[in-house]
């Protein structure tokens, strides 16, 4: 249900059909991340409900992010190298 809400919000706001598949992460500030291999798009859902995407994000970097301590890896892999663009605002997850 949450995944459907996130995907629908991303598609509606972006005006595109990017089928991001989200998965939960163990993090203090982020609830889920998703990736679309066809468009090399990373999706990030913060605890406050904001959804961000990064385009041109390599699959290898996504795999590194998934297989490491998320809160340590996220700033190094994502924030230092890619621009996150806000796409949606969902209700915060409780």
pLDDT, one tens digit per residue, over 42-88 is: 999 998 888 999 999 999 999 999 999 999 999 999 999 999 999 87
Half-sphere exposure in the Cβ direction for 63 (13 Å, CA) = 4
Eight-state DSSP code of residue 93 = P
Mean of pLDDT values over 5-24 = 62
Length of the chain measured in residues: 94
Residue 15, helix vs strand vs coil: coil
Name the maximum alpha-carbon separation found in the chain: 33
Q: Decide which of 39 and 9 is more confident.
A: 39
Chain Cα centroid distance, residue 45: 5
> The tokens of 49 are what?
């409900």
Write down the pTM of the prediction.
Answer: 0.76
């Amino acid at each position: 249900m949450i995944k459907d809400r996130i995907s629908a919000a991303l598609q509606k706001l972006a005006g595109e059909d990017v089928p991001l598949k989200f998965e939960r992460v163990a993090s203090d500030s982020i609830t889920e991340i998703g990736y679309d291999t066809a468009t090399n798009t990373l999706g990030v859902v913060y605890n406050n409900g904001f959804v961000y995407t990064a385009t041109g994000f390599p699959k290898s970097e996504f795999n590194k992010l998934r297989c490491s301590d998320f809160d340590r890896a996220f700033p190094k892999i994502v924030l230092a190298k890619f621009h996150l663009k806000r796409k949606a605002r969902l209700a915060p997850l409780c």
